[in-house]
Amino acid sequence: MHEQVTHAHLATYASEKVNVPPEKAKARRSQTAYLRSRLESYIAAHPDYDLVKMRASGSVAKHTAIRSSSDTDVAAYVRAAAVGGIGVNESQLLEWLRDRCIEVYGATKDAEDFQISRHAVGITMRGSGLKIDVAPVLYEGEPNDRGHLVTSSGDRVLTSVTQHLEFLNKRKNVAGSEYKEFIRLVKHFISRAKHESAAVQELRFKSFLAELIVAHLWDQGWNGEGLAVKDYPRAFEQFLGYIVATQLQTPVVFTDYYRAGDVAESSDPIQVWDPVNPTNNVTADYNEADRQRLVERCADALDQVTWAAMTTSKGAAVEAWRSLFGPTFSVA
């Protein structure tokens, strides 16, 4: 291996082009915290209120957001009985949640700052332009912030914002800060790959799926070797190599919060199971064509990463990595 592009090069690129700048990340978290505190103060002052609690969620809460993302997420736990139970109509639920958010803010924000978006209520912060998506979670008093999220297909899926965060941080606390930075680099590659394929055919690759593959490789290793989070080029080889070698046809199961035997039977083309819910395959809506496109794109990327490691030309190695990250990638 000639290593014309090293871990240090990818770490520098992540710092300069991928990671959210510290001041921007702080501002995002501050605005999200302000929204939460405002809603939670209102909830505390109204014990019978139908909003129960708020929890930060998504990539900003996990510290896996990338620079190109401008949104952040909050989970609003809604007393299910107050809105008609778990089976409540989603559009009615979102309208109800929008009205409650407007009610809490009163006259301090314009009504048009509250818009129903896909499966959430979007709240625009005019000063920064940040959009906070407040997603309803139907809550029936279960511990560990477990409640039912309404998915894009309209299903009610048991989830836990808190346990998802614990799941990620449990691994990061052992692996070190590189664990989350590697996830951000992978998400940057995915974002670029989706952009490139948009004009031809949609490439489906959820960020959460990428996080779970990284977690699986950290837990299980690959080909007898642990996930090399201290060596980003090698970690990319492992990540892409796993996808290409398994063709994503090997079920991925975690046992942090349930037993492997609890996982539901499935014939889905890809089976990667939610670490907090053994009945939820997070890729249940991927079809066979989605699987093949994803594997093919990762095979192309693996060829480039392998070539970058073998070539004696720094220019050729940089061009290979640009096929993953785009023209902004460079090596000093």
Whole-number percent of the chain with pLDDT over 90: 60
Structure confidence at residue 257 as a pLDDT band (50, 70, 90): very high
> Cα 199 to chain center, whole Å?
24
User: Is the model's pLDDT at 70 over the cut of 70?
Assistant: no
Helix pair angle (90-105, 22-45), 10° resolution: 90
Q: What is the Cα–Cα distance from 75 to 78, expressed in whole angstroms?
A: 9
**What confidence tens digit (pLDDT) does each residue in 210-249 have?**
999 999 999 999 999 999 999 999 999 999 999 999 999 9
Please tell me whether the overall predicted TM-score, pTM, comes out greater than 0.85 for this model: yes
Pick from 39-48, 80-89, 258-267 the range whose average pLDDT is largest.
Answer: 258-267
Domains of the chain: 7-15+164-325 (1.10.1410), 20-159 (3.30.460.10)
**What confidence tens digit (pLDDT) does each residue in 311-320 have?**
999 999 999 9
DSSP state of 224: T
> What average pLDDT does the segment 19-46 reach?
83
**What confidence tens digit (pLDDT) does each residue in 91-148 have?**
888 888 898 888 877 677 788 889 888 788 988 877 667 788 888 999 999 999 999 9
Determine how β-strand 131-139 pairs with β-strand 71-79. Answer: parallel
pLDDT of residue 32: 80
Residue 7's closest CA among 307, 264, 296, 305? 305
pLDDT of residue 153: 66
What is residue 125's three-state secondary structure? coil
pLDDT of residue 127: 67
Sign (positive or negative) of CA dihedral 233, 211, 288, 198: negative
> What average pLDDT does the segment 6-27 reach?
92
Higher pLDDT, residue 171 or 32: 171
